[in-house]
């Protein structure tokens, strides 16, 4: 494995890889973080302050600067057991302008994060939860460098429930939820109202209910991500196969068949 090589040798190898291959290589090791600018095709490899961990989660955002426009930042957060079997929380900010990390030591980590981050405007959002409030919408404000939270349109205190987050047209958030332990055949998707930098998050009246029996689909219990077409009320979700975690299935939920990850139509 490339992640077993010395850092200097790994860097030399990766520096010679064509840009089009970087997206595949970024998941091969746990010592490198790469950021890709989709508008220019440029990439930046970011070295850790100490090390990256497999259970890290990240947020990407920016603050407005009068001199240089957007000043981008990365939030890195991790919650793990150290060598003494103690739980340790780490929070760090990476500044693109200075190419440096700094530690945020004024946070605690008493919640779980259940979804990938969804960057929207200047903030990043996640589905998170704790024993007291159940699931909620967690966000990080990169201007104030503070966490905050909003209520979700559903109540859940079950960590086994499926919950996923998606950004819609770079102006709204949608959240997907399924009750796993209740063996529900339904999946529901909610949508926020339009979000800008002056209006707080609120939920619209849009609710899309997906009935697996109607679509002749097996239960989708491991949704990794999804996309929502608000106008046509169609969702496409990717589901990690329970029996084979290396296999991802893609379900266009307006049809009676589904796609595997290479796009081959399946019966």
Given pLDDT bands bounded at 50, 70 and 90, which one contains residue 14?
A: very low
Contact call for residues 166 and 226 (beta carbons, < 8 A): yes
Q: Dihedrals φ, ψ of 14, to 5°?
A: -65, -30
Q: What average pLDDT does the segment 28-50 reach?
A: 75
Given pLDDT bands bounded at 50, 70 and 90, which one contains residue 219?
A: low
- Per-residue pLDDT tens over the stretch 71-88: 889 898 887 778 888 877
Q: Is the pLDDT of residue 214 over 70?
A: no
Q: Dihedrals φ, ψ of 7, to 5°?
A: -55, -45
Q: What average pLDDT does the segment 208-212 reach?
A: 72
What pLDDT, on a 0 to 100 scale, did the predictor assign at position 216? 60
Given pLDDT bands bounded at 50, 70 and 90, which one contains residue 258?
A: very low
User: Cα separation of 74 and 129, whole Å?
Assistant: 22
Q: Is the pLDDT of residue 31 over 80?
A: no
How is the chain classified by DSSP, letter by letter?
-GGGS-HHHHHHHHHTS-GGGHHHHTTT-SS-EEEE-TTT--EEEE--SS---TT-EEEEEEEEETTTEEEEEEEEEEEEE-TTS-EEEEEEEEETTTTEEEE--S----SEE-S--EEETTEEEEEEEETTTEEEEEEEETTTTEEEEE--SS----TTSEEEEEEETTTEEEEEEE-TTTT-SEEEEEEEPP--SSS---EEEEEEEEEHHHHT------EEEEEEETTTTEEEEEEE-SS-TT-EEEEETTSSSEEETT--EE-
What pLDDT, on a 0 to 100 scale, did the predictor assign at position 101? 93
Q: Is the pLDDT of residue 151 over 80?
A: yes
Q: Above pLDDT 90, what percent of the chain?
A: 6
Given pLDDT bands bounded at 50, 70 and 90, which one contains residue 218?
A: low
What pLDDT, on a 0 to 100 scale, did the predictor assign at position 2? 44
Task: Determine the Cα angle at 255 with ends 253 and 257, to 5°.
Answer: 100
* Average predicted confidence (pLDDT) for the chain: 73
Residues in the chain: 267
What pLDDT, on a 0 to 100 scale, did the predictor assign at position 265? 32
User: Cα separation of 229 and 86, whole Å?
Assistant: 44
User: Cα separation of 76 and 23, whole Å?
Assistant: 19
User: Cα separation of 113 and 136, whole Å?
Assistant: 10
Please tell me which of 98-102, 185-189, 245-249 the model is most confident about, judged by mean pLDDT.
98-102
Q: pTM of the full predicted structure?
A: 0.72
- Per-residue pLDDT tens over the stretch 233-254: 777 777 766 565 555 555 555 4
């Amino acid at each position: 494995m490339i992640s077993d090589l010395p850092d200097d040798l790994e860097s030399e190898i990766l520096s010679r890889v064509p840009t089009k291959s970087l997206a595949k290589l970024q998941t091969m090791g746990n010592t490198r973080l790469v950021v890709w600018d989709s508008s220019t095709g440029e990439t930046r490899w970011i070295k850790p302050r100490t090390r990256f961990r497999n259970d890290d989660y990240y947020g990407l955002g920016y603050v407005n600067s009068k001199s240089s426009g957007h000043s981008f930042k990365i939030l890195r957060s991790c919650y793990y057991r150290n060598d003494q079997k103690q739980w340790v929380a780490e929070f760090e900010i990476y500044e693109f302008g200075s190419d440096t990390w700094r530690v945020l030591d004024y946070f605690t980590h008493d919640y779980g994060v259940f979804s990938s981050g969804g960057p929207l405007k200047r903030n990043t959002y996640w589905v998170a939860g704790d024993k007291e409030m159940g699931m909620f919408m967690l966000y990080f404000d990169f201007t104030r460098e503070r966490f905050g939270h909003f209520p979700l349109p559903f109540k859940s205190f079950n960590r086994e429930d499926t919950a996923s987050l998606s950004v819609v047209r770079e102006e709204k958030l949608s959240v997907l939820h399924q009750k796993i332990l209740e063996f529900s055949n339904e999946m529901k998707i909610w949508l926020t109202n339009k979000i800008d930098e002056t209006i707080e998050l609120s939920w619209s009246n849009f609710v899309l209910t997906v009935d697996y029996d109607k679509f002749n689909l097996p239960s989708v219990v491991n949704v990794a991500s999804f996309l929502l077409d608000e106008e046509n009320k169609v969702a496409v979700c990717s589901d990690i196969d329970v029996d084979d975690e290396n296999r991802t299935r893609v379900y266009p939920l307006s049809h009676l068949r589904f796609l595997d990850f290479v796009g081959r139509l399946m019966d």
